[in-house]
Chain A
């Protein structure tokens, strides 16, 4: 019995290792693949100092992070300005790939959107629900490039 269990455990773990080496997880709605082909579509809510959409070219700390993230992965980026409910609805329909604008990890939108890990212990980005590959890519960038993770 114990040998059987040990055998089964090692079998499961080796299958698991095989999986982790594959290109998994995938996105049910292929957000990441589409972003690579057609560019990352980012919804921006005006919320200085994270995002500032009053001038012609958007600016802000989160704009910088997303621009750098896109550059590191060779993605085109397009921005769409709007209010929260409008942009969240677009995110729910998978018409945009990210919503930014100083959301915190306790955001009220966590039922309608996927929440990334915080890039500074508090603030997060919103992704379409279940688009796990996109989320993993973004979190990899956060982990590898943002200061608080390293310290």
Chain B
């Protein structure tokens, strides 16, 4: 068995993890600045309100990543004999539920505002001694709310793939696409400037759909992971071939007649079992001891494996 006190990540990923944590702190600072700015200029625009709440929701993955990362690497103990790896999956589920609920609320809110034909009233603001229509300032705020987010998102994305961390990946992926919702809000405000009152609610509706869609996708992924499905890649949700690689590797050993494996995700890492039908005359305990070493050194994601010698493989 691998020393349970060993840190989850290998040496070369430790600095990636530190970098990810730093980026999430930057994200929080940046989002707070955005949320304050948007709140100050939002006026009675539905699109701005929706974009503002969407940005506020963006804090959840960043905060939950940072909290989870403090817990996930605690040593296993009598109360939690498998360690705390799964805290990432739980944080991910909680964030997904919140996002999904907010998506539903925003969708209803925006649809109501469109159906009631709410005309957004947007007045003027004195900025640096000059009187300006607040709508233009809203667009400036939206530029601040989108472009830096795209840059931060692009920086986090490769880290998330390497760390096999879903919260980080979703966070990066939504931020990277943040400009679409900001653009929608900008179009809404510009529409209002040209006298199309409905542009505002329509933009809000578009943003709500995008929040709801993200919420739904995350919720689905979070639930499927907690259901212990076959491990998948964080980016494309395709099966991770690592599991099949291990099966092939185990089957190639001399002392193994046939073998089957199963793994499940526990946050960033995989836990699983290997069932082996040994050849006659194999020194089983010795071989298993060896095999455990080989498998746990095979890839950092393979965190804990149990090997079970059996007479025959059960049909699945």
Q: Which residues of B contact A (CB under 8 A)?
A: 44, 118-124, 126, 131-133, 135-136, 139-140, 143, 147-148, 150-151, 154, 186, 190, 192-197
Whole-angstrom CA separation of A129 from B119 in the bound complex: 6
A9 touches B143 (CB 8 A): yes
Q: From B118, B124, B190, give the contact of A140 (CB < 8 A).
A: B124
**Residue A19 contacts which of B123, B147, B151, B193 (CB distance < 8 angstroms)?**
B193
Interface size on A, residues (CB 8 A): 32
Is A8 in the interface zone, CB < 8 Å from B? yes
Quick check: B151 and A1 within 8 Å, CB to CB? yes
Asked if A130 lies at the interface with its beta carbon under 8 angstroms from chain B, I say yes
Question: Does A90 count as interface, using CB distance less than 8 angstroms?
Answer: no
A132 adjacent to B133 (CB under 8 Å): yes
Beta-carbon contact of B136 and A16 below 8 Å: yes
B126 contacts across to A, CB distance below 8 A: 143, 149
A132 to B124, CA, bound (A): 9
Q: Are B143 and A143 in contact (CB under 8 A)?
A: no
Tell me, rounded to whole Å, the shortest Cβ–Cβ distance linking B208 to chain A. Answer: 20
Partner of A28 from the list B123, B147, B197 (CB cut-off 8 Å) is B197
Contacts of A143 in B (CB 8 A): 124, 126, 131
A90, B48: Cα distance in complex, Å: 28
Given known contacts A19-B136, A129-B119, A5 and B197 CB-to-CB distance under 8 angstroms: no
> Known contacts A140-B131, A143-B131: does B123 contact A26 (CB below 8 Å)?
no
Q: A40 contacts the other chain (Cβ, under 8 Å)? A: no
- A5 CB contact (under 8 Å) in B123, B147, B186, B190: B147
In the complex, what's the smallest C-beta–C-beta distance from A57 to chain B, in angstroms?
Answer: 30
Specify which chain B residues have a CB less than 8 angstroms from the CB of A136 in the assembled complex.
Answer: 123-124, 133
